[in-house]
Chain A
Amino acid sequence: MTSWRVTRPGIFAPCLLLLLLPACDGPQSALAPAGREAELLADLFWIMLAGAVVLWLAINGLMFYVTRINVGHMPRRLAEGIIIGGGIVFPVIVLAALLGYGLTLMPLTRVPGDGLRIRVTGEQWWWRVEYWPEGAEAPVVAANEVRLPSGRRTDIELAAHEVIHSFWIPALGGKTDMFPGRDTLMTLEPLTPGVYRGQCAEFCGESHALMAFQAVVLPEEEFADWLEAEAAPARPPSGPLEAAGQEVFLAQGCGACHTVRGTPATGAVGPDLTHVGSRLTIGAGTLPPTAEALANWIAHPGTIKPGVEMPSYDELAPDDLAALAAWLEGLE
């Protein structure tokens, strides 16, 4: 019998994989579930992985047995037993069990929501978000952030404007594609309050990688308070700088595309900015919501997010730009 030894790559490969393990945690990981659907998927993943490991060990064990331990002539009955048992019966049982288990999970992800409906539309490259509480006649419009009550099932209606996108919050559930002209539906039941990251998961153009959002899971009471505040009009400017900023916004045509409720600006082309200062990011998960970042974005949106539809306002006087950014930052 020939001797065998573990080669160097055989030792290094698992060590390198260990280095990747920290990536399994964090705000955008399907392996760190924070919701009912994500837990089901994580369970499914671990069980599938266990099944795969068992199969891998069995196949390699058999290979080892016939090439190293029992080399040479084999009785016909034993050979047929290995082929039929290991090649047909065993995989059929394992795969049927895994399939059966997987199928039992599907109805669990389709339990309808408790009343709140959120409609998310994929735009180039941002997210239009509408909250429809049960019985509401008009939505509460927001953008680039999805807030959800924990412990409640929320229906999420998905649409797209021009091209296909895909809505994915790995920590809360699976991904669902968004199609122009056809609505798709998913239901999420987040369990652990926290801030998670969502990302467009279907290539949708130049700035696909910059089409992200924050998913904020709030305890039910807090969510109700937040939604009430979100439904309210923008707060009036405090101080002369913010007042000047609002004046710039209304004089420079920003209201053609953006809505700020409580002002004449009712544009529907770009994101609703009524409470933009309370968001955790701007530019759909691209920049922090600071006045500095807002000023940078307004003057050079195309260099931050290539292909963006927003034209650049680099012609604005620096003072006007600073005032505008200060006012937007204050729109909490």
Chain B
Amino acid sequence: MSKREAPSRARTVVLTLAALGLVVAVSVVGLGLYNVSARAGHLPGVSWVLHTTFRNSVDLRAPPQSEAPDLTDPDLIALGAGHFDVACRMCHAAPGETRAATVRTMVPEPPHITEAVESWNAGELFWIVREGVKMSGMPAWPAPSREDEVWAVVAFLTSVGDMSGESYDALTAQPETERAAVAFCATCHGSDGMSGNAQIPRLDIQNPGYLLTALQAFRNGMRASGIMQQAASLVPEATLAELADHYGAQPTGEASAEVDPALSEAGEALAEARTGDTEVPACRACHGPWPERLSPDFPALAGQHEHYLRKQLSLWKEGRRGGGPRSDLMHQAAADLTEDEIAALAAYYASLPPARLGATEAAAR
């Protein structure tokens, strides 16, 4: 045999194998030979391969735990619990609860929550909640820009391991209200809109018009929030106005917390454009206190939680905060804010007596 013939024989072998592979592939994909039955489960060894791949993939990509905020903050845990209850509990169940029979026949089977968190650290949980897991039924976080919200869920997950059913129910209980839709919102915002949680905004200071714009922005995806987009999508569109009217009509409650007076004074000077800074618009011209009538399209900030204001201002500054049709105004307004200015402004507005926009006019006169 001459040397020239050797490569052509090797080629024949490769081509034959490739043709056989193609026939098998076409048969499996095109003729439906592979059994996708969840009841049948995986072939021996496949489960192990898939699960090991999953674990190693998460290990490789998870951020270090040092990136986590304070995960023991009770307000953050409560926010995460509220979201878990409406978005995750349906598969993973609550502490002290059994998973639904249907869920238990999923492949792979979603682990019960106390078991699901057992072998992961906070960074890994963060990655799983943010990214989801392909072909497992675990979805990705609906608002990729809102990592701050993912950490709230992680805060809940790191404390759920030894949580009793009673503690869970206390965290996620729906207060008794006349309207079922309000009870759903009231888990986090309170039935009077006076959320006692610094992570969750008070609604008792807003006008119905602004609340409806915000709910619609969440519902149509114009305002990114994995938590509120989920909540707003669970409520029928027609009910949104009813909810806005309910919270827009609640009596405005008491001030929520003390703030640093020096910080608040610096914020006041900024809000009133008294600093000579030509980069920061006067906040009060839209958000009050203002001696004239203000457009009801603008949100009130007086008495809002300091932490919430700070977080929202940062989101605006970074271009991660959407909203209604006027949101472009606030993007421009917040673009040049510094971290110190954000802290000062949040302290100032949190220090003001809680009030709706219309109600601040008389005070400023």
Tell me the A residues contacting B by CB distance below 8 Å.
Answer: 123, 128, 161, 247, 250-257, 264-269, 309-312, 315
Contact A251 B273 (CB under 8 A): no
Can you name 30 A-B pairs with beta carbons within 8 Å?
A128-B278, A247-B292, A247-B293, A250-B285, A250-B290, A250-B292, A250-B293, A251-B293, A251-B294, A252-B295, A253-B294, A253-B298, A253-B329, A256-B281, A256-B282, A256-B283, A256-B284, A256-B333, A257-B281, A257-B282, A264-B290, A264-B292, A266-B272, A266-B273, A267-B282, A268-B278, A269-B278, A311-B331, A311-B332, A312-B328
Contact A251 B326 (CB under 8 A): no
Contact A311 B328 (CB under 8 A): yes
Query: What is the chain B residue whose CB lies nearest that of A269?
Result: B281
Task: List B contacts of A311 (CB < 8 A).
Answer: 328-329, 331-332
Please give the distance in Å from B337's CB to the nearest CB on chain A.
12
* Cα–Cα, bound, A298→B325 (Å): 16
Q: A253-B294, A253-B295 are in contact. List 5 more A-B contacts (CB 8 A).
A: A247-B293, A250-B290, A257-B282, A269-B280, A309-B332
Query: What is the chain A residue whose CB lies nearest that of B325?
Result: A315
Query: What is the chain A residue whose CB lies nearest that of B274?
Result: A266
Per-residue CB contact flags for chain B residues 306-350 toward chain A (1 = under 8 Å, else 0) read 000000000000000000011011011100000000000000000
Task: List A contacts of B328 (CB < 8 A).
Answer: 311-312
Task: List A contacts of B273 (CB < 8 A).
Answer: 256, 266-268
Task: List B contacts of A253 (CB < 8 A).
Answer: 285-286, 294-295, 298, 329
Q: What 6 A-B pairs are tightest by C-beta distance, nearest first?
A: A256-B281, A253-B286, A256-B285, A255-B285, A250-B292, A311-B328
Contact A264 B332 (CB under 8 A): no
Please give the distance in Å from B271's CB to the nearest CB on chain A.
10
> What DSSP secondary structure best describes chain B's contact surface?
loop
**B97 contacts A by Cβ under 8 Å:** no
Query: What is the chain A residue whose CB lies nearest that of B335?
Result: A309
**B118 contacts A by Cβ under 8 Å:** no
Contact B329 A269 (CB under 8 A): no
Select which of B279, B286, B326 is within 8 A of A269 by beta carbon. Answer: B279
Task: List B contacts of A310 (CB < 8 A).
Answer: 332
> What DSSP secondary structure best describes chain A's contact surface?
loop
Task: List B contacts of A161 (CB < 8 A).
Answer: 278
Please give the distance in Å from B9's CB to the nearest CB on chain A.
66
Task: List B contacts of A312 (CB < 8 A).
Answer: 328
How many residues of chain B get a CB closer than 8 Å to chain A's CBs?
Answer: 27
* Cα–Cα, bound, A315→B295 (Å): 12
Task: List B contacts of A257 (CB < 8 A).
Answer: 281-282
* Cα–Cα, bound, A324→B315 (Å): 32
Please give the distance in Å from B282's CB to the nearest CB on chain A.
5
Contact B285 A254 (CB under 8 A): yes
**B44 contacts A by Cβ under 8 Å:** no
Task: List A contacts of B284 (CB < 8 A).
Answer: 256
Please give the distance in Å from B104's CB to the nearest CB on chain A.
51
Please give the distance in Å from B354's CB to the nearest CB on chain A.
21
Please give the distance in Å from A204's CB to the nearest CB on chain B.
16
Query: What is the chain B residue whose CB lies nearest that of A162?
Result: B279
* Cα–Cα, bound, A266→B277 (Å): 12
Task: List A contacts of B281 (CB < 8 A).
Answer: 256-257, 267, 269
* Cα–Cα, bound, A44→B328 (Å): 51
For residues 146 through 187 of chain B, which have their beta carbon under 8 Å from a beta carbon of chain A? none
Query: What is the chain A residue whose CB lies nearest that of B286?
Result: A253
* Cα–Cα, bound, A319→B247 (Å): 31
Query: What is the chain A residue whose CB lies nearest that of B332?
Result: A311
* Cα–Cα, bound, A250→B273 (Å): 15
Task: List B contacts of A265 (CB < 8 A).
Answer: 285
Query: What is the chain A residue whose CB lies nearest that of B330?
Result: A311
* Cα–Cα, bound, A46→B280 (Å): 49
Task: List B contacts of A309 (CB < 8 A).
Answer: 332
* Cα–Cα, bound, A255→B295 (Å): 13
Contact B286 A256 (CB under 8 A): yes
Select which of B285, B298, B331 is within 8 A of A267 by beta carbon. Answer: B285
Task: List A contacts of B294 (CB < 8 A).
Answer: 251, 253
Task: List A contacts of B285 (CB < 8 A).
Answer: 250, 253-256, 264-265, 267
Task: List B contacts of A247 (CB < 8 A).
Answer: 292-293
**B7 contacts A by Cβ under 8 Å:** no
Contact B295 A251 (CB under 8 A): yes
Interface centre among A123, A254, A266 (most CB of B within 10 A): A266
* Cα–Cα, bound, A134→B292 (Å): 36
**B45 contacts A by Cβ under 8 Å:** no
Please give the distance in Å from A191's CB to the nearest CB on chain B.
34
Interface centre among B283, B293, B294, B332 (most CB of A within 10 A): B332
Task: List B contacts of A254 (CB < 8 A).
Answer: 285
Please give the distance in Å from B289's CB to the nearest CB on chain A.
10
Query: What is the chain B residue whose CB lies nearest that of A254?
Result: B285
Task: List A contacts of B64 (CB < 8 A).
Answer: none
Select which of B282, B286, B298, B326 is within 8 A of A266 by beta carbon. Answer: B282
Query: What is the chain B residue whose CB lies nearest that of A264?
Result: B291
* Cα–Cα, bound, A133→B169 (Å): 72
Task: List B contacts of A267 (CB < 8 A).
Answer: 273, 281-282, 285
